[in-house]
Chain A
Amino acid sequence: MSGATSDGLEARGGTATRLPSDGTQAEVLLDVRDLSVVYESAGQTAVQAVDHVSFQLRKGEFVGLVGESGSGKSTLGYALTRLQKPPARTNGGNIVFGGADIRDLDDEALRQQRQGGFAMVLQSGMNALNPVRTIRNHFIDVFKAHGHVPRERWDARMRELIGKVKLPETMLARYPGELSGGMRQRVSIALALSLEPQLMVFDEPTTALDVLVQHAVMDTIIELQRSEGFTAILISHDLGIVLEATERVLVMHEGRIVEDGRSLEVLRDPQDEYTKMLLSHYADPRAEVVSLPGFPDRTQRSVSRQETTSSFATVGSRERSAARNPIVVDHLVKTYPAPRRGEQPVQAVRDVSFTLEPGQSLALVGQSGSGKSTIAKMLTGVEQPTSGTVRFGDTDVAKLGRRGLKDLRSEVQMVFQDPYAALNPLHTVEYILSRPIANYTGLRGRDARRRMLEILETVGLTPVEQFAQKLPHQLSGGQRQRVVIARALASDPQVIIADEPVSMLDVTLRAGVLALLEDLREQWGVSLLYITHDLLSARLITDDIMVLHDGAVVERGRTAEVLQHPQDDYTVALLDAVPNPRRTLLA
């Protein structure tokens, strides 16, 4: 057990040299020359995931490795720690770590190296703890495997390590299941640290965690790196996080490193077009004027985006008039029974009331567990409220039978969070879209098909004939989410509830999907309930906002006003969690 891979070419001295901030030459710890990694699986064309990458790491450096999904950043991280598995194969170059090429190591040498050499902390590291063994036992496993800590010092060392990652000592006696995700990730960092690595590779260490926890764990990593002095690589899809945390940034794009420079310089004066493009997608939701590529600021907009997005010619094809019925939520409460005996029942939603007016765009923000998705489920009749009512026009949603639910869903549609899970992998786009058309519009045959193609065009998937024939795995994440939105539009609904529609997408794809939602609201006149933890996107596409904390509304108002002048501490905490390199570095 250990997320830790390490390598014992040299005994680690207690004092690692820190890179002086003026950049004077320190000893080179890792030297990667012309490294290439290829994915080869039988019957498929080989994919060159890492393509002739060269860089050097000096002792004590903290370097960020940034790229979008598919850029090869994780593949590179796995290659550096020799954790890669077939079908990935290194097909060129050298990785010299502390003077020796780690590609030559055999399995046993590699195992021994995992102490005092290189370690890796994975995104899913928190799920790699053995659920039936206490945290103490996990440490003992590592100590036994490497024998680098004398038995009588085990206890002291454990307490020291667990303290370093800011956990109380009592955690040692707990089982992984009793710890939260953030705590488990801290434990896996402590386990990696226990091997006293010279090089730590963090692969998206906070991505699977909740927004607010992400920040705290990241801070711990930064502090640890400063106090322990190990060399570290932080792999992330989020340029914002990396720029905030590290001294130097490598930007990867399609298997190559396109930018390599000090964080501040990259932020001030990016050289590569791709880096510039990535940077343009960050903004501060608190600012007076917020704009992203494709999004002029809402408050500054005198005319709607209609004029700027003539591409949506077919948007006018909406047959019915705009949304007519409001959704009225009155003193809504949802309580789930206690998960275990002797525990309190879970109050997911406490006394929430609001009205979604026809054509309004309302953001519902909060971290996970704040009850925002539960509200969405009650609005669509998936869950029954414990008390309170949800009314859509004249109908009481909680009292609907199967027939009534079907009618409701032709008017109130959902856009799901994960475009990879929301589309059946075995059906073509055409089939997926044809179902709601057949079920709700009554169109058949050629008419139905024409409608399907129109909707595809509306969401910008052209040429439509080609996209209609595709299976989900042939589409990118952004394209899939467009298909999900298209399916929601097929029944010509009045209300769209979008549950974190962009949180699984790369930063650069988000703007496109958000722009689509915005256009649909303005031109189709649908009401939009936008559920998110990401305040920047809420600022971009909504007029009004409600902040949820532990199931209760803590703040509500116009989006721009609430975000510029937050009243509640929780709103402030959420605002601080939005990564924004300009704020931290240039302030």
Chain B
Amino acid sequence: MTDNATVAVRTQDKQQDQGDQQAPSKLRSAGRQFGVVWSNTKARIGLCILGTFVLIALFAPLLAPYGGSQNGFARNADASWAHWMGTTAAGEDVLSQLIYGARVSVLVGAVAGLLSTLVAVAIGLSWGYIRGWIAEVIGFIVNLFLVIPGLPLMIVIAAYLQNGGIAVIIAVIVVTGWAWGARVLRSQTQSLRSRDFVTAAQFSGDGATRIVFREILPNMTSLIVGSFFGAATSAILAEAGLEFLGLGDSSIVSWGTILYWAQNSNALLTGQWILLFAPGLCIALLAMSLTLINFGVDAVSNPRLREGARRKRKEVTA
């Protein structure tokens, strides 16, 4: 290295590197992402609500005053100290039912949301990466699922598989709910596949599978997480809807079945509005919490949405 100027150039090059930052561990970077979500007020509210429901679901036997399907109390009783929300027409404690019902909603939301996201990722990514007639075929199938109205399809499938329990409900939701996520992930895949680093990976000799899952997938984590929360939200709503219509297993205790039985026993006419109101509110709150969390997840992928970076109204055009 005799050439002084070259040395100068190279040392200058090195100075730009700031200190000894080592690559952060996966755990730390995940923690930082969570910090971004948490710093968003809406997401924080959502996480609190979701956390409460998850805790309620986990510790239902400890929290509930009675068993979920324990009956034999006075029928159609109004709220009292023994039964804070009264009892149902079958003589069950409403509050206990509500607490146990959280288990089903949280479970269905998590499992159905996860499964339909997995399907969406698998199909969306390969659809976005592949070119040619196979992509057309996949596109046709996805579009088919997109144009079929969701609820009627669900009802038809659920009616076919009558009384299969939660597993069937989850299956029905997954079958009808993956298409939208696949579509979103596909378009992101298409935009990422034209990036230089994907071409570079091809030049490095990597195969298609590896490129899709090691190069492209990690770059859309926040989109996938967002699509999971979206899918979970619609899963919770769909589950409650199917139960309410009596298409699920009406013997289990869930928010949907509470509504179903309340409707059957004309709870509104007997003045027991709380039978409809309480589970309805719970469903709405749980769905809302997931939507709120998604605001924070958006901020992970788009720093401009982060709070504190609140913009003043100014025209920044030219």
Contact = CB atoms under 8 A, between A and B. Distances in A.
B219 A474 contact: no
B251 interface: no
Given A280-B5, A487-B204, A424 B23 contact: no
Interface string B7-23: 01110111011101111
B199 interface: yes
Nearest to A280: B5
A439 interface: yes
A380 interface: yes
Nearest to B308: A42
A120 interface: yes
Interface in B157-211: 195-197, 199-206
B308 A107 contact: no
Contact of A311 (B1, B5, B22): B1
A586 to B, nearest CB: 22
Give chain A's interface residue range (CB within 8 Å of chain B).
35 or more
Interface in B257-312: 306, 308-312
Interface string A392-434: 0000000000000010011001101110011111111000100
B88 to A, nearest CB: 49
Contact of B16 (A4, A191, A439, A479): A479
Contact of B205 (A87, A382, A435): A435
B25 to A, nearest CB: 11
Contacts of A110: 314
Contacts of A421: 195-197
A435 B206 contact: yes
Interface string A172-208: 0000000000000000100110000000000000000
Interface string B29-60: 00010010001000000000000000000000
Given A2-B317, A512-B9, A470 B22 contact: yes
A83 B5 contact: no
Interface string A452-492: 00000000100000100111001110110000100110110
B8 A277 contact: yes
A128 B5 contact: no
Contacts of A83: 314, 316
Nearest to B15: A476
B80 interface: no
A409 B318 CA distance: 44
Contacts of A479: 13-14, 16-17
Given A122-B318, A426-B219, A294 B9 contact: yes
Contacts of A218: none
Contacts of A416: 196, 199-200
Nearest to A469: B23
Residue from the set B3, B17, B203, B315 with the largest chain A CB neighbour count within 10 Å: B203
Contacts of B10: 460, 512
Nearest to B310: A86
Contact of A192 (B6, B13, B18, B318): B318
Contact of B17 (A188, A475, A487, A512): A475
Interface string A1-14: 11110000000000
A41 B215 CA distance: 28
A546 interface: no
Contacts of B313: 107
Interface in A235-279: 277
Interface residues of B, number: 50
Nearest to B4: A293
A294 B317 contact: no
A471 B23 contact: yes
A443 to B, nearest CB: 13
Contact of A511 (B5, B205, B215, B318): B5
Contact of A476 (B17, B21, B22): B17
Contact of B6 (A120, A293, A423): A293
A424 B6 contact: no
Contacts of B309: 41, 85-87
A426 B2 CA distance: 36
A380 B197 contact: no
Given A121-B318, A294-B5, A423 B205 contact: no
Please report whether the interface of chain B is mostly helix, strand, loop or mixed according to DSSP.
loop
Interface in A288-309: 292-294, 308-309
Contacts of B197: 421-424
Contacts of A42: 39, 306, 308
B72 interface: no
Contacts of A469: 22-23
Given A294-B9, A310-B2, A435-B201, A85 B316 contact: yes
B218 interface: yes
B310 A474 contact: no
Nearest to B210: A435
A440 interface: yes
Contacts of A120: 318
Contacts, number: 162
Interface string A526-561: 000000000000000000000000000000000000
A436 interface: yes
A432 B201 CA distance: 8
Contact of A435 (B17, B196, B204, B314): B204
Nearest to B20: A466
A69 to B, nearest CB: 10
Contacts of B214: 427
A311 B10 CA distance: 12
A509 interface: yes
Nearest to B16: A476
Contact of A426 (B201, B218, B310): B218
A132 to B, nearest CB: 15
A489 B5 CA distance: 25
Contacts of A124: 318
B219 A425 contact: yes
Nearest to A377: B199
Contacts of A41: 308-309
Contacts of B199: 382, 414, 416
Nearest to B200: A422
A149 to B, nearest CB: 19
A515 interface: yes
Contacts of B9: 293-294, 508-509, 511-512, 515
Interface in A110-132: 110-111, 114, 120-122, 124-125, 128
A121 B316 CA distance: 10
Given A422-B197, A426-B219, A474-B17, A406 B205 contact: yes
Contacts of A342: none
A43 interface: yes
A89 B127 CA distance: 45
Nearest to A123: B318
Contacts of A382: 199
Contacts of A414: 199-200, 203
29 contacts: A2-B315, A3-B317, A3-B318, A83-B314, A85-B309, A86-B309, A111-B315, A120-B318, A125-B317, A128-B317, A292-B5, A293-B4, A294-B6, A382-B199, A406-B205, A409-B203, A410-B205, A414-B199, A426-B218, A435-B205, A436-B204, A439-B204, A470-B21, A471-B23, A474-B18, A478-B16, A509-B12, A511-B5, A512-B6
5 nearest CB pairs, A to B: A3-B318, A293-B5, A439-B205, A125-B318, A294-B6
Interface of B: 1-6, 8-10, 12-14, 16-18, 20-24, 32, 35, 39, 195-197, 199-206, 214-215, 218-219, 306, 308-318
Given A107-B314, A425-B219, 19 more contacts: A2-B318, A42-B306, A43-B32, A114-B315, A120-B318, A188-B318, A192-B318, A293-B5, A293-B8, A294-B6, A410-B205, A414-B199, A414-B200, A432-B204, A436-B203, A439-B204, A487-B200, A491-B205, A512-B9
